[in-house]
Amino acid sequence: MPRSNRPRRAGSAKTGSAKTGSGQGAAAGKGKAGAKHGPAPELDLERARSGFARRESAPDGEWMVRSMTASRAEKTYICPGCSTAVLPGIAHLVVWSEDHLFGAAAGLAERRHWHTNCWTSRTYRYR
């Protein structure tokens, strides 16, 4: 069986340090360089799957829309489109106004949870 040309890990029992005595020093130097940056942050897979807010333009204004996965939906909300409950465990959309009269922070504070179908089929008729 052919031998591997890759260097062995520093913590491995089969390092080349027994033969040459210099194998462990080179590997230990690599470990220190990686340690100055610290450990890599934990990846939040649910946040990555849910994606980022996207901007949608409509006759009734500019909207920021973020999809909420079923596993992250933990509360009950009332959908403004159909006035029924968006139950926990149901994937839906979180929508807020980008061009709110009192600024973006006020629009974010007044965000609403919509059923996906209610948001896509909403009407733009003014009353």
Query: What tokens does 43 get?
Result: 């990846």
Q: State residue 43's pLDDT score.
A: 65
| Burial 55-66, CB ≥16 within 10 A → b, else e | eeeeeeeebbbe
Query: What tokens does 3 get?
Result: 């031998």
pTM above 0.85, yes or no: no
CA angle 68, 58, 108 (to 5 degrees): 45
- Long-range CB contacts (within 8 A, 24+) of 119-124: 119/65, 119/81, 119/93, 119/95, 121/81, 122/81, 124/58, 124/59, 124/60
Q: State residue 2's pLDDT score.
A: 66
Query: What tokens does 2 get?
Result: 């052919």
Q: State residue 99's pLDDT score.
A: 82
CA-based R_g, the chain, Å: 27
Q: State residue 51's pLDDT score.
A: 64
Give CA separation, 72 vs 2, 7, 114, in Å: 50, 43, 15
Q: State residue 46's pLDDT score.
A: 58
Q: State residue 83's pLDDT score.
A: 94
Q: State residue 52's pLDDT score.
A: 81
pLDDT tens digits in sequence order for the chain, 127 residues long:
566 777 777 765 555 544 444 444 444 444 454 556 778 777 666 555 556 888 998 888 889 999 988 988 899 999 999 999 999 999 999 999 888 888 888 888 899 999 999 999 987 765 4
